[in-house]
Structure 1
Amino acid sequence: MYRESFYRYLMTQRDPNSQDDIAQFANNAQHDLTFPRQEQDYEKLSEYLELNAGYLASMSTFDKAYQMYQEKMSY
């Protein structure tokens, strides 16, 4: 079964006019040229973001976005 990457899911959450944390995360991740775009694994994504994503105000935003991603992928 095909499962899209977290990045691909995150890009569906972009909204340049929104103040929502996840929309802001998505907007910023779009410009992160080293973001692991094919990754699906929580641990690998989390480690990358902790070390490289100064634009992510809080890891809880990633946790929330990843939870939404998992729910969408479970269908």
Structure 2
Amino acid sequence: MAYRESFYRYLMTQKDPDSNSEVAQFANNAQHDLAFPKQEQDYDKLSNYLELNAGYLPNMSIFDQAYRMYQDKMAY
């Protein structure tokens, strides 16, 4: 089975402090979340964590968008 990077590792490639992109802002803020499940790949586990702990995420549709981007990248 091929190696699949964690969602967090992918998300960190989207950081950009100068961007107004919602995904970039999510990445910028997640970088400072010390409890973020950094090894996780599972959508449901990530979603549950973010719903309960990520006050920096204005709405879950931003996570959904970022997760779709992650899935697309991992499909190759």
Q: TM-score, normalised by structure 1?
A: 0.99
Q: How does 1:28-67 map to 2 (within 5 A)?
A: 28-67=29-68
The gaps in structure 2 that reach 5 residues or longer are none
For 2:16, the equivalent position in structure 1 comes to 15
The gaps in structure 1 that reach 5 residues or longer are none
Instruction: In structure 2, give the amino acid aligned to 1:63.
Output: D
Q: TM-score, normalised by structure 2?
A: 0.98
Q: After the TM superposition, which parts of structure 1 deviate over 4 Å for at least 4 consecutive aligned residues?
A: none
3-state SS of 1:72 partner: helix
For 1:73, the equivalent position in structure 2 comes to 74
Could you tell me how far apart the structure 2 residues matched to 1:19 and 1:28 are? Answer: 13
Q: How big is each residue's C-alpha offset from its partner over 1:8-57, in whole Å with a ceiling of 9 and x where there is no partner?
A: 00000000011110000000000000000000000000000000000001
Matched residue count: 75
The CA RMSD measured in Å over matched residues stands at 0.3
Offset, 1:59: 0.1
Identity across aligned pairs (percent)?
76
